[in-house]
Amino acid sequence: MSAGPVSAEGWLGRWIEPVPVPEGSRRPQRLRVPFVLPDGDGDGDSPTIVSARARVAARGDVALFINDRRLDAEGPSTGPAGEPIAREYDAISTLVAGENVVGLILGESWGATTPVPGVRPFPGETPPLAVLFDLVVELSDGSEVVVVSDESFRCTTGAIIYSEPGRGERQEHALRDAGWKEAGFDDARWTPPRIAADQSLDAIVRPDEAETQEAVRVVGESAARTQQSWGPGGQVLVDFGRRLVGRLRVRFTLPAGSEVTLEHLPAHPEEGEPTVIGTDVFVSAGTVDEVFEPGYALHDFRYVRVTGLPAPDAAAFSVLELSVPAGA
């Protein structure tokens, strides 16, 4: 589902802001809205889907899902000055007859706080997290089903307690809601967003106008090379063999409530105690074969110092590597 050219004009939705608790919090938010499509059985009474185009822009970093299928590509949602990047997607393959669901995850922009190599920090004050969305489904009888960002969405926080690119992320997996991006999920306890005071479209840019940040993308998954015991309390040092930029993926099975700390280091501790350049923390839900992968935190590192994971195996660690140079 590739992104196409998109104009900053003609948006059908409005900028909406998840209401943070407490006010001013930058904790990542989840948003969802269900919608219904005809069954399209071809009997002449029920139209079929002809086309479906989805557009999204964000003041922050956004991930777009329809029926739990991710549409947007890896990469930042904002340009080097914090300007929202508008993207358009062919969504027809994600749709089904009956109830469908749009799901959005909205969090801190890549350059909003701690600098990340290849990504410049934004100038000035960071605006409230907000998203702009519309989906237009054209049917064979000439009618349309339109879904837009407004008060019909529902939002809440999730397993990510905090997250900043370059600084780190904390996830508490017991707070995950299975199936929230799918039909049939009960969102009665979720709250509606508010309509943003700033409805300006002037800052929105196309992907080809977003300068250097648009080149940042996931280029592959690199496995850890070795591991060794290190430091007090059963710490383990995991080595990826070279310095790289990306985010960890860790597979594990632990008792509920177990807390694991992952400190990212650019050099081996024997070379002099290196500065920890980002710390991720996850708390297990106690299920089998859990996976920890930061939603937003990115790090520039070679080694990961692991605390709280009994007998870790290097095979359980990998990195989703980005197309930016390490040590920049």
What are the pLDDT digits (tens) for 202-237? 888 877 666 544 445 678 888 999 888 877 777 899
Better-predicted residue by pLDDT, 194 or 166? 194
Q: Rounded to a whole number, what is the largest CA-CA distance in the chain?
A: 75
Range with lowest mean pLDDT among 114-128, 180-194, 265-279, 307-321:
114-128
> What is the spatial distance between Cα 141 and Cα 78, in angstroms, rounded to a whole number?
38
Three-state SS sequence of 99-145? EEEEEEEEECCCCCCCCECCECCCCCCCCCCEEEEEEEEEECCCCEE
Q: What is the pLDDT of residue 217?
A: 65
Instruction: Give the tens place of pLDDT for each residue, 227-285.
Output: 888 777 778 999 999 998 888 999 999 999 999 999 999 888 887 666 778 899 999 99
Mean pLDDT of the chain: 83
Position 120 scores a pLDDT of 43
C-alpha dihedral sign at 148, 150, 156, 159? positive
Contact yes or no for 64/135 (Cβ under 8 A): no
Query: What confidence tier does 74 reach under pLDDT thresholds 50, 70, 90?
Result: low
pLDDT at 75: 60
pLDDT at 3: 46
CA distance 66 to 64: 7
CB-CB contact of 312 with 306 (8 Å): yes
